[in-house]
Amino acid sequence: MKFCKPLTGAFTVGILFFSAAVFAQDMSTPPAGAAAPALPSPNTADMQTPKGEVTVNSAPANAPSIAPAPSFEQLSGGGKSISESQAEAYPPLANDFVHADSNRDGKISKPEYLHWLKQL
């Protein structure tokens, strides 16, 4: 009797696997006597163009061009430093004001400006 329980379990598992294989069969062919759906007529223009081939030509966008940097005297208005409001006259400097102001005193001196220009 003890041998019968494992055999019954194995038989049940085998039946389940077999039934799953039967239901997983491809049913793409219609049963005999059923009308197949009508296929559209082929277009000859579509048959001449290759399908599945894709050519991608891409490159990074060109870097925006910026105007030449004005002189320190133009930006500072004849003063000894460039304030943040004066730096707005040249947008690249205004965008990079924090980095150009290396000593973090809120203004850009002539040596700081010249150092920033070298990094462009």
The predicted-structure confidence for 31-56, as pLDDT tens digits, reads as follows 666 566 666 666 655 556 567 787 88
Q: Is residue 95 part of a domain?
A: yes
Enclosing H/E stretch for 107: strand 107-109
Tell me which residue range forms the domain holding 77: 72-119
Reading the block at residue 81, the tokens are 């430093």
10 Å Cβ neighbour count for 19? 10
The whole-number pLDDT of residue 96 equals 95
Per-10-residue mean pLDDT of the chain, 120 residues long, equals 68 73 62 62 59 81 87 95 95 95 96 93
Number of domains in the chain: 1
pTM passes above 0.75:
no
DSSP designation for 102? T
Is residue 101 domain-resident?
yes
pLDDT computed for residue 26 by the predictor: 58
In a domain, 79, yes or no: yes
Contact 93, 75 (CB under 8 A): yes
Please check whether residue 22 lies inside any domain of the structure.
no
Give dist(CA 100, CA 88) in Å, integer.
13
Question: Does residue 83 sit in helix, strand or coil?
Answer: strand
Would you say residue 5 lies in a domain?
A: no
| Phi, psi dihedrals of residue 104, rounded to the nearest 5° | 55, 40
In a domain, 57, yes or no: no
